[in-house]
Amino acid sequence: MKNKTKHKTQNNSKVAITIMVIILFVAIILILFKFNIILGNVITPTPDSNLNLSEKCYIQLDISEIVVRNKTQFNLINTTNLFGLYDSSVNVYDSQLPGDYVLRTYNKFGRGINQYSLYSSRYIFYDTFDDSVNPGGVEVLDSGVITAIIPYDASITRIAIMNNKTLTGLQFKPTSISCKRTCKVQGELGKVDKEKCCFGYTWLQINSTTFSCSKCGDKVCSKYEDKYSCYEDCYNSTTIK
């Protein structure tokens, strides 16, 4: 009888331990998702994500390519943070259209994030407009500068270029990239000739040097809007919200 009781107690202990392990595992997963970290990837929200802006953050990379003794060398010349509509300028790697080189991004764990097609800048296409003398053709230079635009990702810590199975790491500094909205939204003031409204917002001239931006049509007569600039929202409004 004592053995049965002891055996039952041991089984209950095992079940309790198993339940505790499961609870602990679930808690860890929830914590990871809370901080947007899972399997080494960091998901970074874009600024003002609640505004549903069409513009996003991007990184422009200026890369030199130089041929020395039949070998192509790559160096990162400059890194520029961009904010706008640049989706059409991003060449995500496609095996059907691989480009001349492949740009690869990695996180701090050495895990690949994404790949992009790069096209050499050393090929100059020319036309003489006189087929009887020279129909034109392609001139190959010894050096050039490749400009690549990729989506911003705060988890990028390393960038490299694959060329004929040779991987060349670029001197990339993670601290050089940031994501910051540079256009103006509703109610914000901007400087004429220096700033602009975000896509989907209407320019409102305040004076010769200052403008504001309006989201006309949102059924709210906001600051700087009136029945002349946004009749749809302010036609019967006497109060600025």
Segment 122-139, tens digit of pLDDT: 888 877 777 677 777 788
How far apart, in whole angstroms, are the C-alpha atoms of residue 121 and residue 140?
A: 9
Pairing mode of beta strands 37-38, 41-42:
antiparallel
Q: The domain that contains 83 carries what CATH number?
A: 2.60.40
Same domain, 92 and 141: yes
- What is the tally of structural domains in the chain? 3
Length of the chain: 241
Q: Is residue 204 part of a domain?
A: yes
Same domain, 197 and 167: no
How far apart, in whole angstroms, are the C-alpha atoms of residue 119 and residue 159?
A: 16
Look at the alpha carbons of 23, 27, 33, 39 in this order and tell me if their dihedral is positive or negative: negative
Q: Is residue 212 part of a domain?
A: yes
What is the rounded (10 degree) CA torsion for 216, 217, 221, 224?
A: 0
| Structural domain that includes position 118 | 49-176
Q: Is residue 222 part of a domain?
A: yes
Express each pLDDT in 40-57 by its tens digit: 344 344 555 566 778 899
Q: What is the pTM of this model?
A: 0.69
Domain boundary among 144, 176, 208: 176
- The confidence score (pLDDT) of residue 33 equals 46
